[in-house]
Structure 1
Amino acid sequence: MKAEAWLFSGVAVFFAVTGGIYTWFSNDPAGVAALAVSFLMSALIAAFLWRQFGRGGYRPEDRKGAQVREAADRRFSFPARSYAPAVSAAGTALVGLGVVQGLWLALIGFGVLVPGIFGFVFRSGEGSS
């Protein structure tokens, strides 16, 4: 997680610097708000990744001499037959399209998204440790 934490920390610094320069030279409140929200969201992800790295240490992907079998003991893996990621992605796409196209499509998207979320939350224990 350390590489990802550094990546999102760099993105957060980029948005902070860009937002500061943009605020100084522009009178556009929408651009300032967009850059501020972008900074806050990337900083939130970076903080989460740094916290996870602090709790769990290096993953096998972070070490050069790691063996493939070390990555088999994952806590947050899904079984190969899990429908939750695909259903959640489809539901999220429909909700996003519904914001543009109309409420009817957003409601259908929420109807597709809810089973996907339940699949994530109440997944069976097979395939995970």
Structure 2
Amino acid sequence: MKAEAWLFSGVAVFFAVTGGVYLRYADDPAGIAALAVSFLMSALIAAFLWRQFRRDGYRPEDRGDAQVREAADRRFSFPARSYAPVVSAVGTALVGLGVVQGLWLALIGFGVLVPGVFGFVFRPGADREGGA
């Protein structure tokens, strides 16, 4: 997690510096808003990754002497036959297209997105495995 945290911290700093320069020399409110939102989103991800690193420490992927079996007890793993990521991605894409094409497509997208989110939240077997 530490490498990813550094990466997103660098992205956040880039957007902060770029946004500051753009704010100084440009009069475009849309560009300023886009750079500000980009900074906030990357800073949020960086903060989450730093928090996870402080809480969990190095992952097996981060260490050179790790064994394959150490990564077997991952907290955020989904079964190989989980359809929740695919259903959520399709629903999100339909909602995004619905914003452009019309309300009817966005409503269909929300109808597809809700089961995908429920699949993530209420994953079958999560309580029996002692998982997250």
- 1:99-122 deviation digits (Å, cap 9, x = unpaired): 111100000000000000000000
Residue 63 of structure 1 is matched in structure 2 by: 63
1:125: Cα distance to partner?
2.0
Larger displacement relative to structure 2 (95-104 or 118-127): 118-127
Aligned residue pair count: 129
Offset at residue 28 of structure 1 (A): 1.0
Please state whether the residue corresponding to 1:66 is helix, strand or coil.
coil
Inter-partner Cα distance in structure 2 for 1:118 and 1:44? 24
The equivalent of 2:54 in structure 1 is: 54
How many angstroms apart in 1 are the aligned matches of 2:64 and 2:125? 30
Partner of 2:125: 125
Alignment partners' CA distance in 2, 1:106 and 1:116: 15
Shift of 1:48: 0.5
After TM superposition, give the deviation of residue 27 of structure 1 in Å. Answer: 1.0
Residue 43 of structure 2 is aligned to residue 26 of structure 1: no
The amino acid that maps onto 2:50 is W
Mapping 1:1-129, distance limit 5 Å: 1-125=1-125, 129=131
AA aligned opposite 1:101: Q
The CA deviation string for residues 12-39 of structure 1, in whole angstroms up to 9 with x for no partner, is: 0000000011111111111111101110
TM-score normalised to structure 2 length:
0.94
TM (norm. structure 1) is 0.96
Identity %: 85
Quote the Cα distance in structure 2 between the aligned partners of 1:98 and 1:106: 4
**Cα deviation, residue 88, structure 1:** 0.3
Structure 1 moving runs of 4+ over 6 Å: none
